[in-house]
Amino acid sequence: MSDELVPWPGRGRRYIHRAHVRLADAAPSGRARFDAIARWLQDAAQADVDDAGVTGSGAWVVRRNRVAVVRFPRFGEALELATFASGWGRMWAERRTTISGDGGGRVESAALWVHVDPRTGRPLPLGADFERLYLPSTAGRRVKARLQHGDPPAAAARQPWHFRRADLDVAGHVNNAAYWSVVEEVEPDPPEPAAAEVEFRAGAPAGEAELIGGDGAWWVVAGGEIAASLRLSVVTA
């Protein structure tokens, strides 16, 4: 796993978002699924930006998200998501989030988000809003946005994969939470602690794709382009 799970430095903006583990979020065992965790994380990020009143012209897209589960939240549990900016670069920033449940659930996340032009998708430099609101909590920590997962092995097993229209978000691409559903297929009853990381390379449309397995997983869309990749560890978070 790549990104360091740094603590909040005790200064700068730190936003609290609240959620619950609802019926559609839980596996048959009652634990929260990885895709539900991914949705809560992106909801907390959006709620933070909305609450801050950020007025810049850029949008944010996730490049990489590490999720480390100490204890899975369970059905009915009330959740508090504490999120803050933990690192930055010229056109990207890292967001740390801690999910705490009133029943003992705990999840840590470090997500790298790239600041982009919503019309062209090209990265944009961070603006004055970021420097004013979010830079203090980074404590000057710099992060890089380069890809880390590598390509799949040539001899890795391949199988069909289908992205539904219901997986698309307002950008017209498969939402990042949809990729996390494969963790439920690979490890339907993960032990605790467990950790997984998804890295995103390109937006994927609805329709047929290919899932390549091996030491991880890769989604390949039409034309052979890798849309995203997954690393999973059930040994240590």
Task: Tell me which H or E stretch contains 183.
Answer: helix 181-186
User: pTM score > 0.75 for this model?
Assistant: yes
Q: How far apart are CA 8 and CA 85, in angstroms?
A: 9
Fold observed for domain 15-138: Thiol Ester Dehydrase; Chain A (3.10.129)
Whether the Cβ atoms of residue 112 and residue 61 lie closer than 8 Å to each other: no
Closest CA to 59 of 105, 12, 9, 122: 122
Whether the Cβ atoms of residue 116 and residue 93 lie closer than 8 Å to each other: no
What is the number of other CB atoms lying within 10 angstroms of the CB of residue 223? 6
pLDDT tens digits, one per residue of 141-193? 999 999 999 899 989 999 999 999 999 998 889 999 999 998 888 888 888 99
Domain ranges of the chain: 15-138, 158-233
pLDDT exceeds cutoff 80 at 237: no
Look at residue 236 in the predicted model and tell me its pLDDT: 42
pLDDT tens digits, one per residue of 102-135? 999 999 999 999 999 988 889 999 988 899 999 9
Class in CATH terms, 158-233: alpha beta
